[in-house]
Amino acid sequence: MSFDNHIATLKYAFPKTIPILAGFMFLGISYGIYMNSLGFGPAYAILMSIFIFAGSMEFVAGSLLLGPFSPLSAFFLTLMINARHLFYGIAMLDKFKGSGRKKPYLIYGMCDESFVINSTTDVPSYINKGWFMFYVTFLNQIYWVGGTTLGSLFSSAISFNTDGLEFVMVALFVVIFLDQWMKERYHVSSVIGITASVLCLVLFGPDNFIIPAMILILLALSSIKKILEKREVIS
Amino acid sequence: MSVTQQILIIVVVVAGTMITRFLPFLIFSRDKETPQYIKYLGYVLPPAVFGLLVVYALRNVSFTSFESFLPELLAVGLIVILHYWKKNMLISIAGGTLCYMILIQFVF
Protein backbone atom coordinates (compact mmCIF):
# COMPACT_ATOMS: atom_id res chain seq x y z
CA MET A 1 0.00 0.00 0.00
CA SER A 2 1.34 3.44 -0.94
CA PHE A 3 1.94 6.31 1.45
CA ASP A 4 -1.08 8.17 -0.01
CA ASN A 5 -3.28 5.14 0.63
CA HIS A 6 -2.14 5.05 4.24
CA ILE A 7 -3.01 8.74 4.64
CA ALA A 8 -6.43 8.16 3.06
CA THR A 9 -7.11 5.20 5.35
CA LEU A 10 -5.99 7.16 8.40
CA LYS A 11 -8.22 10.09 7.36
CA TYR A 12 -11.16 7.71 7.08
CA ALA A 13 -10.41 5.96 10.40
CA PHE A 14 -9.72 9.00 12.59
CA PRO A 15 -13.25 10.55 12.66
CA LYS A 16 -14.68 7.17 13.74
CA THR A 17 -12.38 7.23 16.77
CA ILE A 18 -13.12 10.79 17.98
CA PRO A 19 -15.60 9.65 20.66
CA ILE A 20 -12.96 7.17 21.86
CA LEU A 21 -10.38 9.97 21.91
CA ALA A 22 -12.59 11.89 24.33
CA GLY A 23 -13.48 8.84 26.41
CA PHE A 24 -10.02 7.30 26.61
CA MET A 25 -8.27 10.58 27.36
CA PHE A 26 -10.61 11.05 30.29
CA LEU A 27 -10.55 7.43 31.51
CA GLY A 28 -6.82 7.10 30.83
CA ILE A 29 -6.05 10.25 32.82
CA SER A 30 -8.32 8.93 35.60
CA TYR A 31 -6.41 5.65 35.58
CA GLY A 32 -3.06 7.47 35.78
CA ILE A 33 -4.32 9.52 38.73
CA TYR A 34 -5.78 6.41 40.37
CA MET A 35 -2.49 4.47 40.12
CA ASN A 36 -0.63 7.51 41.40
CA SER A 37 -3.00 7.68 44.37
CA LEU A 38 -2.26 4.00 45.15
CA GLY A 39 1.42 4.92 45.32
CA PHE A 40 2.64 3.50 42.02
CA GLY A 41 5.05 5.47 39.83
CA PRO A 42 4.20 6.42 36.22
CA ALA A 43 6.06 3.36 34.84
CA TYR A 44 3.45 1.01 36.33
CA ALA A 45 0.42 2.78 34.86
CA ILE A 46 2.04 3.29 31.46
CA LEU A 47 3.38 -0.26 31.07
CA MET A 48 0.11 -1.79 32.27
CA SER A 49 -1.82 0.34 29.76
CA ILE A 50 0.45 -0.83 26.94
CA PHE A 51 0.48 -4.52 27.80
CA ILE A 52 -2.89 -5.23 29.45
CA PHE A 53 -4.85 -2.66 27.40
CA ALA A 54 -8.21 -3.51 28.93
CA GLY A 55 -9.54 -0.55 30.88
CA SER A 56 -11.63 -2.07 33.65
CA MET A 57 -9.10 -4.87 34.20
CA GLU A 58 -6.31 -2.34 34.69
CA PHE A 59 -8.19 -0.65 37.53
CA VAL A 60 -8.71 -4.05 39.15
CA ALA A 61 -5.04 -4.97 38.60
CA GLY A 62 -4.03 -1.83 40.49
CA SER A 63 -5.87 -3.02 43.57
CA LEU A 64 -4.58 -6.60 43.10
CA LEU A 65 -1.02 -5.27 43.39
CA LEU A 66 -1.82 -3.94 46.85
CA GLY A 67 -3.39 -7.19 48.11
CA PRO A 68 -1.75 -10.48 49.09
CA PHE A 69 0.37 -12.23 46.43
CA SER A 70 -1.97 -14.67 44.70
CA PRO A 71 -1.24 -15.17 40.98
CA LEU A 72 -3.78 -17.96 40.55
CA SER A 73 -6.74 -15.94 41.76
CA ALA A 74 -5.50 -12.94 39.75
CA PHE A 75 -5.48 -15.18 36.68
CA PHE A 76 -9.03 -16.47 37.11
CA LEU A 77 -10.34 -13.03 38.01
CA THR A 78 -8.84 -11.74 34.75
CA LEU A 79 -10.47 -14.54 32.73
CA MET A 80 -13.85 -13.73 34.28
CA ILE A 81 -13.69 -9.97 33.83
CA ASN A 82 -12.48 -10.26 30.24
CA ALA A 83 -14.56 -13.26 29.15
CA ARG A 84 -16.62 -11.01 26.85
CA HIS A 85 -13.59 -10.85 24.53
CA LEU A 86 -14.32 -14.48 23.58
CA PHE A 87 -17.53 -13.26 21.92
CA TYR A 88 -15.65 -10.51 20.11
CA GLY A 89 -13.20 -13.08 18.75
CA ILE A 90 -15.97 -15.34 17.47
CA ALA A 91 -17.67 -12.36 15.81
CA MET A 92 -14.42 -11.21 14.18
CA LEU A 93 -13.14 -14.61 12.95
CA ASP A 94 -14.13 -13.83 9.35
CA LYS A 95 -13.46 -10.07 9.41
CA PHE A 96 -9.84 -10.55 10.48
CA LYS A 97 -9.21 -13.14 7.77
CA GLY A 98 -6.80 -11.85 5.16
CA SER A 99 -5.39 -9.10 7.37
CA GLY A 100 -1.99 -10.82 7.20
CA ARG A 101 0.76 -9.74 9.56
CA LYS A 102 -1.54 -7.16 11.17
CA LYS A 103 -3.79 -9.89 12.54
CA PRO A 104 -1.91 -10.61 15.82
CA TYR A 105 -2.01 -6.89 16.66
CA LEU A 106 -5.72 -6.61 15.74
CA ILE A 107 -6.45 -9.43 18.20
CA TYR A 108 -4.09 -8.16 20.89
CA GLY A 109 -5.57 -4.64 20.74
CA MET A 110 -9.24 -5.67 20.56
CA CYS A 111 -10.69 -3.68 23.45
CA ASP A 112 -14.48 -3.09 23.65
CA GLU A 113 -14.26 0.13 21.66
CA SER A 114 -12.04 -1.17 18.85
CA PHE A 115 -14.28 -4.22 18.50
CA VAL A 116 -17.36 -2.02 18.30
CA ILE A 117 -15.94 0.23 15.55
CA ASN A 118 -14.29 -2.55 13.56
CA SER A 119 -17.35 -4.78 13.62
CA THR A 120 -19.86 -2.07 12.66
CA THR A 121 -18.04 -0.01 10.01
CA ASP A 122 -18.78 -0.84 6.38
CA VAL A 123 -15.51 0.25 4.82
CA PRO A 124 -15.85 1.70 1.28
CA SER A 125 -14.04 -0.18 -1.50
CA TYR A 126 -11.22 2.36 -1.90
CA ILE A 127 -10.14 1.79 1.70
CA ASN A 128 -8.15 -1.29 2.72
CA LYS A 129 -10.20 -3.03 5.41
CA GLY A 130 -7.24 -4.59 7.22
CA TRP A 131 -5.36 -1.31 7.47
CA PHE A 132 -8.54 0.53 8.52
CA MET A 133 -8.99 -1.87 11.44
CA PHE A 134 -5.29 -1.56 12.25
CA TYR A 135 -5.46 2.24 12.45
CA VAL A 136 -8.65 2.19 14.54
CA THR A 137 -7.02 -0.22 17.01
CA PHE A 138 -3.72 1.66 17.03
CA LEU A 139 -5.30 5.13 17.47
CA ASN A 140 -7.43 3.83 20.33
CA GLN A 141 -4.38 2.42 22.06
CA ILE A 142 -2.48 5.69 21.58
CA TYR A 143 -5.39 7.58 23.21
CA TRP A 144 -5.48 5.17 26.14
CA VAL A 145 -1.73 5.04 26.77
CA GLY A 146 -1.50 8.81 26.15
CA GLY A 147 -4.23 9.53 28.68
CA THR A 148 -2.65 7.22 31.25
CA THR A 149 0.73 8.89 30.76
CA LEU A 150 -0.72 12.38 31.19
CA GLY A 151 -2.66 11.32 34.27
CA SER A 152 0.24 9.64 36.01
CA LEU A 153 2.69 12.46 35.26
CA PHE A 154 0.49 15.51 35.89
CA SER A 155 -2.16 14.26 38.29
CA SER A 156 -1.96 17.32 40.55
CA ALA A 157 -2.27 19.84 37.70
CA ILE A 158 -5.72 18.80 36.47
CA SER A 159 -8.30 21.06 38.02
CA PHE A 160 -11.33 21.69 35.77
CA ASN A 161 -14.54 19.92 36.66
CA THR A 162 -14.74 16.74 34.59
CA ASP A 163 -17.51 15.11 36.65
CA GLY A 164 -19.68 13.07 34.35
CA LEU A 165 -17.31 12.98 31.38
CA GLU A 166 -17.03 9.22 31.86
CA PHE A 167 -20.59 9.04 30.48
CA VAL A 168 -19.08 9.38 26.99
CA MET A 169 -18.43 5.62 27.01
CA VAL A 170 -22.05 4.87 27.94
CA ALA A 171 -23.15 7.23 25.16
CA LEU A 172 -20.92 5.42 22.65
CA PHE A 173 -22.37 2.00 23.50
CA VAL A 174 -25.95 3.33 23.41
CA VAL A 175 -25.36 4.91 19.99
CA ILE A 176 -23.78 1.72 18.60
CA PHE A 177 -26.76 -0.25 19.88
CA LEU A 178 -29.20 2.24 18.29
CA ASP A 179 -27.31 2.18 14.99
CA GLN A 180 -27.55 -1.60 14.91
CA TRP A 181 -31.25 -1.43 15.88
CA MET A 182 -32.09 1.04 13.10
CA LYS A 183 -30.33 -1.00 10.46
CA GLU A 184 -31.47 -4.55 11.35
CA ARG A 185 -34.68 -6.08 10.01
CA TYR A 186 -35.26 -8.37 12.98
CA HIS A 187 -34.45 -7.31 16.53
CA VAL A 188 -34.23 -10.81 18.03
CA SER A 189 -30.53 -10.73 18.92
CA SER A 190 -30.60 -7.14 20.24
CA VAL A 191 -33.60 -7.92 22.44
CA ILE A 192 -31.95 -11.12 23.72
CA GLY A 193 -28.77 -9.16 24.55
CA ILE A 194 -30.61 -6.51 26.59
CA THR A 195 -33.07 -8.88 28.28
CA ALA A 196 -30.49 -11.50 29.28
CA SER A 197 -28.10 -8.85 30.60
CA VAL A 198 -30.74 -6.98 32.62
CA LEU A 199 -32.08 -10.25 34.03
CA CYS A 200 -28.60 -11.40 35.11
CA LEU A 201 -27.73 -7.94 36.47
CA VAL A 202 -30.80 -8.10 38.71
CA LEU A 203 -30.09 -11.70 39.77
CA PHE A 204 -26.31 -11.61 40.22
CA GLY A 205 -25.44 -7.93 40.81
CA PRO A 206 -23.09 -5.58 38.93
CA ASP A 207 -19.87 -7.49 39.75
CA ASN A 208 -20.91 -10.99 38.73
CA PHE A 209 -23.48 -10.71 35.96
CA ILE A 210 -21.35 -10.85 32.80
CA ILE A 211 -20.59 -14.58 32.65
CA PRO A 212 -24.18 -15.69 33.44
CA ALA A 213 -25.40 -13.14 30.87
CA MET A 214 -23.00 -14.54 28.25
CA ILE A 215 -24.19 -18.10 28.94
CA LEU A 216 -27.84 -17.04 28.76
CA ILE A 217 -27.22 -15.19 25.46
CA LEU A 218 -25.48 -18.27 24.03
CA LEU A 219 -28.33 -20.56 25.11
CA ALA A 220 -31.01 -18.22 23.75
CA LEU A 221 -29.29 -17.68 20.39
CA SER A 222 -28.56 -21.40 20.02
CA SER A 223 -32.14 -22.38 20.79
CA ILE A 224 -33.56 -20.14 18.05
CA LYS A 225 -30.98 -21.10 15.38
CA LYS A 226 -33.43 -23.39 13.53
CA ILE A 227 -36.24 -20.82 13.59
CA LEU A 228 -34.00 -18.03 12.31
CA GLU A 229 -32.67 -20.22 9.50
CA LYS A 230 -36.20 -21.27 8.50
CA ARG A 231 -37.32 -17.65 8.32
CA GLU A 232 -34.19 -16.78 6.37
CA VAL A 233 -33.22 -14.11 8.86
CA ILE A 234 -29.67 -15.25 8.21
CA SER A 235 -28.40 -16.34 4.84
CA MET B 1 4.56 -7.60 47.61
CA SER B 2 8.08 -7.37 46.22
CA VAL B 3 8.67 -5.82 42.79
CA THR B 4 9.23 -9.31 41.32
CA GLN B 5 5.89 -10.46 42.71
CA GLN B 6 4.19 -7.36 41.33
CA ILE B 7 5.67 -8.01 37.89
CA LEU B 8 4.47 -11.61 38.10
CA ILE B 9 0.90 -10.46 38.89
CA ILE B 10 0.98 -8.05 35.93
CA VAL B 11 2.29 -10.83 33.63
CA VAL B 12 -0.52 -13.12 34.81
CA VAL B 13 -3.14 -10.42 34.13
CA VAL B 14 -1.66 -9.79 30.65
CA ALA B 15 -1.70 -13.56 29.94
CA GLY B 16 -5.31 -13.92 31.12
CA THR B 17 -6.45 -10.98 29.00
CA MET B 18 -4.64 -12.28 25.91
CA ILE B 19 -6.11 -15.77 26.34
CA THR B 20 -9.63 -14.28 26.18
CA ARG B 21 -8.69 -12.34 23.03
CA PHE B 22 -6.69 -14.99 21.15
CA LEU B 23 -8.52 -18.19 22.08
CA PRO B 24 -11.27 -18.12 19.39
CA PHE B 25 -8.65 -17.47 16.70
CA LEU B 26 -6.42 -20.30 17.97
CA ILE B 27 -9.29 -22.80 18.11
CA PHE B 28 -10.71 -21.88 14.71
CA SER B 29 -7.56 -21.45 12.68
CA ARG B 30 -7.78 -20.45 9.05
CA ASP B 31 -6.67 -23.85 7.72
CA LYS B 32 -9.89 -25.54 8.74
CA GLU B 33 -13.35 -24.49 7.70
CA THR B 34 -15.09 -22.69 10.62
CA PRO B 35 -17.97 -24.88 11.92
CA GLN B 36 -21.46 -23.84 10.83
CA TYR B 37 -22.58 -23.24 14.42
CA ILE B 38 -19.67 -20.87 15.13
CA LYS B 39 -20.34 -19.00 11.87
CA TYR B 40 -23.94 -18.63 12.98
CA LEU B 41 -22.80 -17.26 16.35
CA GLY B 42 -20.37 -14.88 14.66
CA TYR B 43 -23.29 -13.53 12.66
CA VAL B 44 -25.93 -13.21 15.40
CA LEU B 45 -23.74 -12.37 18.41
CA PRO B 46 -22.80 -8.70 17.73
CA PRO B 47 -26.28 -7.16 18.31
CA ALA B 48 -26.61 -9.14 21.56
CA VAL B 49 -23.10 -8.11 22.63
CA PHE B 50 -23.90 -4.42 21.99
CA GLY B 51 -26.94 -4.88 24.26
CA LEU B 52 -24.69 -6.48 26.89
CA LEU B 53 -22.25 -3.56 26.63
CA VAL B 54 -25.03 -1.00 27.18
CA VAL B 55 -26.13 -2.81 30.34
CA TYR B 56 -22.48 -3.28 31.39
CA ALA B 57 -21.78 0.46 31.00
CA LEU B 58 -24.85 1.29 33.11
CA ARG B 59 -24.39 -1.53 35.64
CA ASN B 60 -23.65 0.73 38.61
CA VAL B 61 -26.69 2.98 38.18
CA SER B 62 -28.69 2.93 41.38
CA PHE B 63 -32.45 2.44 41.32
CA THR B 64 -33.02 3.24 44.98
CA SER B 65 -34.82 6.49 44.21
CA PHE B 66 -36.13 8.26 41.13
CA GLU B 67 -33.49 11.02 41.37
CA SER B 68 -30.66 8.47 41.53
CA PHE B 69 -31.13 7.34 37.95
CA LEU B 70 -32.84 10.40 36.44
CA PRO B 71 -29.60 11.91 34.95
CA GLU B 72 -28.82 8.62 33.16
CA LEU B 73 -32.43 8.26 32.01
CA LEU B 74 -32.60 11.82 30.61
CA ALA B 75 -29.19 11.60 28.94
CA VAL B 76 -29.95 8.23 27.30
CA GLY B 77 -33.36 9.58 26.24
CA LEU B 78 -31.71 12.59 24.63
CA ILE B 79 -29.25 10.29 22.80
CA VAL B 80 -32.13 8.25 21.38
CA ILE B 81 -33.97 11.40 20.18
CA LEU B 82 -30.79 12.97 18.72
CA HIS B 83 -29.81 9.77 17.00
CA TYR B 84 -33.17 9.17 15.34
CA TRP B 85 -33.32 12.84 14.35
CA LYS B 86 -29.79 13.58 13.10
CA LYS B 87 -28.37 10.05 12.59
CA ASN B 88 -24.94 11.46 13.42
CA MET B 89 -22.86 9.51 15.89
CA LEU B 90 -20.75 12.43 17.13
CA ILE B 91 -23.76 14.72 17.71
CA SER B 92 -25.58 12.01 19.66
CA ILE B 93 -22.56 11.13 21.80
CA ALA B 94 -21.52 14.74 22.47
CA GLY B 95 -25.13 15.80 23.17
CA GLY B 96 -25.76 12.95 25.59
CA THR B 97 -22.47 13.42 27.43
CA LEU B 98 -22.85 17.20 27.78
CA CYS B 99 -26.41 16.76 28.99
CA TYR B 100 -25.24 14.25 31.61
CA MET B 101 -22.37 16.48 32.78
CA ILE B 102 -24.63 19.51 33.15
CA LEU B 103 -27.23 17.46 35.03
CA ILE B 104 -24.86 15.96 37.60
CA GLN B 105 -22.76 19.11 38.04
CA PHE B 106 -25.52 21.73 38.29
CA VAL B 107 -28.91 20.09 38.74
CA PHE B 108 -28.59 16.98 40.90
Phi, psi of B101 (to 5 degrees): -65, -45
Per-residue pLDDT tens for A82-108?
A: 989 999 999 999 899 889 899 999 999
**How far apart are alpha carbons A45 and A151 in whole angstroms?**
9
Selected for mutation to probe chain A from B9, B10, B13 (highest A CB count within 10 Å) is B13
**How far apart are alpha carbons A218 and B82 in whole angstroms?**
32
> What's the mean pLDDT when you consider all of chain B?
91
For the cut 60, the answer to whether the pLDDT of residue A113 exceeds it is yes
What distance in Å separates residue B66's CA from the closest CA in chain A?
Answer: 17
**How far apart are alpha carbons B23 and A86 in whole angstroms?**
7
For the cut 80, the answer to whether the pLDDT of residue A209 exceeds it is yes
Which amino acid type is present at position A209? F
- The pLDDT value given to residue A81: 82
Selected for mutation to probe chain A from B55, B90, B100 (highest A CB count within 10 Å) is B55
Q: What is the ipTM of this complex?
A: 0.89
Q: Which of A76, A144, A78, A74 is nearest to A109 (CA)?
A: A144
| pLDDT < 70 positions in chain B | 30-31
Hey, is the C-beta of B21 within 8 angstroms of any chain A C-beta?
yes
What distance in Å separates residue A74's CA from the closest CA in chain B?
Answer: 7
Q: Do B25 and A191 touch (CB under 8 A)?
A: no
Q: Which of residues 60-89 of A touch B (CB under 8 A)?
A: 61, 64-66, 68-69, 71, 74-79, 82-89
**How far apart are alpha carbons A167 and B75 in whole angstroms?**
9
What pLDDT band is residue A235 in, cutting at 50, 70 and 90? Answer: very low
Q: Which of residues 137-166 of A touch B (CB under 8 A)?
A: 161, 163-165
More confident residue, B31 or A202: A202
Per-residue pLDDT tens for A154-168?
A: 877 766 676 787 788
Q: Which residues of B78-96 are buried (b: 16+ CB within 10 A; e: fewer)?
A: bbbebbeeeeebeebbbbb
Hey, is the C-beta of B17 within 8 angstroms of any chain A C-beta?
yes
Per-residue pLDDT tens for A29-82?
A: 888 888 888 889 899 999 999 999 998 889 889 888 988 898 998 998 899 889
What pLDDT band is residue A176 in, cutting at 50, 70 and 90? Answer: confident
Q: Which of residues 29-88 of B touch A (CB under 8 A)?
A: 30, 34, 37-60, 71-72, 75-76, 79-80, 83-84, 87
Degrees (nearest 5) of the Cα angle A205, A208, A209?
A: 70
- The pLDDT value given to residue A160: 63
Q: Do A65 and B40 touch (CB under 8 A)?
A: no
For the cut 80, the answer to whether the pLDDT of residue A226 exceeds it is yes
